[in-house]
Amino acid sequence: MTNRGVAGMASVMLAVLNGRINDMALCEECAGRLERDLIRERAWDHSATAYGVSADQREELRRRVVRQYGEKLELIAPTNTGSKKRRARRKKGRLPRP
């Protein structure tokens, strides 16, 4: 490992010990963004905030997050639903185009 790598690793470890980075190596701001994204996507099994909360209270929590921070995801890349690319079919007896 290079000196830069050791120094970088030491600064990360120091940040973890000082509480600025959580167990997933996210700062407080990014951890908050991830938590809000999980709530927006109704990923209740992965959200620490939604743990042990009833279904109707989770929906209210989601409404509050959307009202306060908006519908758009902040950290998680959106999944493309419904926009499947169609594949061309070859017809029998024809050669593929060059």
Could you report the per-residue pLDDT of 33-74, keeping only the tens digit for each? Answer: 999 999 999 999 999 999 999 999 999 999 999 999 999 999
User: What pTM did the predictor assign?
Assistant: 0.61
The percent of residues above 70 in pLDDT, for the chain, comes to 59
| Total residue count of the chain as it appears in this document | 98
Closest CA to 66 of 44, 86, 40, 84: 40
CB 97 within 8 A of CB 74: no
At 86, the pLDDT band (50, 70, 90 cuts) reads low
